[in-house]
Amino acid sequence: MHINQGLQVTSDSSSNPDHRPDPGAMDNAPPFDTFIATRNPSGLPGFEPQPFTFSGRGSEYFRIWIVNLLLTLVTLGIYSAWAKVRRTRYLYDNTSVAGSSFDYHGNPIAILKGRIIAIVLIALYHLGPRISAWAGILVFVGAAAILPWLIWKSLQFKLHNSSYRGIRFGLRGSLGSAYKVFLLYPVLTAFSLYLLMPFAHQRIKRFQHNASRFGNASFSFHATVGSFYKLYLTSWGLAIGGIIAMFILFNSTMFSAASHASANGNIMRGTYITIFAIDLMLLVILPIYLSLLQNLVWNNTRLGEHRFESRMEWPRAVWILLSNLFLIAVTLGLFVPFATIRWQRFRIEAMVLLPASDLGEFAADSEASGSVTGEGVTDLMDFGLSL
């Protein structure tokens, strides 16, 4: 469970009030408080909304981060597998819901083996074109053919090595479905000049969530393709509007500069100001997109009859991201672990689990652990596709 992958804002829990397992009846569902009173007249805590909490602290994580960094540098990257396990375990151990935290069971030796194989594959990918054009084509085709399988195995590995209350997560998705969502849809998106990107994104999230399980309970995903297009149109609209505004600012600056004697200096300053404004605009749009995406995905995800709610507020997300970047810059990177904790707490504590029954009813269901090769490749290539 990559709490990439995969939360600190409180708001009224009446948002998205339906609480029925049948997604087709969502619009007609009774208010959540009424539903709880009907299902749980005794008021047992197993039926109450359960907010996610994060107890990690920047000072604690800084010690883990600095040791991981130094040992990774000294060992020429070999320690990075152990660093990943230490980092992930800390974040999991400090993420809780309903009084229990998550656990990570990844084996650093297994991850190291996967990363060694990943380095070999990536080296072949870069060396192929230098040998000959045909070698480059063959390597590219081979990489495209094997990548969905690696991602599929990586998702299996990550979920199987994540647990909650001693019960493992897992992935039941088929390899054929993995090739469809991780190869066919991206290819179609490229040929459509990326007009199909929201469609492909929705299909990827649907595959991830529908194929995932917790013990013997399955996740389900109910967000529509239209909702993803709305998300992308909102983000693209903000970006296009910002670019138009920056273009107007640039032209007005150039016009003003041309009327002064030191026109060249003013033009250069105007150019720098415009570039800075565009970069700042993009940094503002990114947390807005991430907030809307998390809310869209988790407000439409269920675990059996239980559902989730995300209350991530984009103004707070913008502030945290921009202030994190500023503090990282002025501290020459030493604020990175504190920034990680701030963002992690914000994202996790925006999440709420809305149980429909006793959480202790779930039973563990054994399943193969997946491929360590896939785990190494996706980490090295920075794929964040797990839950």
User: What is the rounded distance in angstroms from the CA atom of residue 356 to the CA atom of residue 13?
Assistant: 15
Rounded to two decimals, what is the model's pTM?
0.77
147 touches 342 (CB < 8 A):
no
Full pLDDT tens readout for the chain, 387 residues: 444 443 333 334 344 444 434 444 444 444 434 333 334 433 344 478 999 999 999 999 999 999 999 999 999 999 999 999 999 999 999 999 988 999 999 888 888 887 887 788 888 888 888 888 888 888 888 888 888 888 888 888 889 899 998 888 999 888 899 999 999 999 999 999 999 999 999 999 999 999 999 988 899 999 999 999 999 999 999 888 877 877 776 666 666 655 555 555 556 666 666 677 777 788 889 999 999 999 999 999 999 889 999 999 999 999 999 999 999 999 999 999 999 999 999 999 999 999 887 776 654 443 445 555 555 555 543 333 332
H helices within the chain, ranges in order? Answer: 32-39, 58-74, 80-93, 108-131, 133-160, 175-179, 185-191, 197-211, 225-258, 263-298, 314-330, 336-348, 372-380
- Residue 386 has phi, psi (to 5 degrees) of -85, 170
DSSP character at residue 27: G
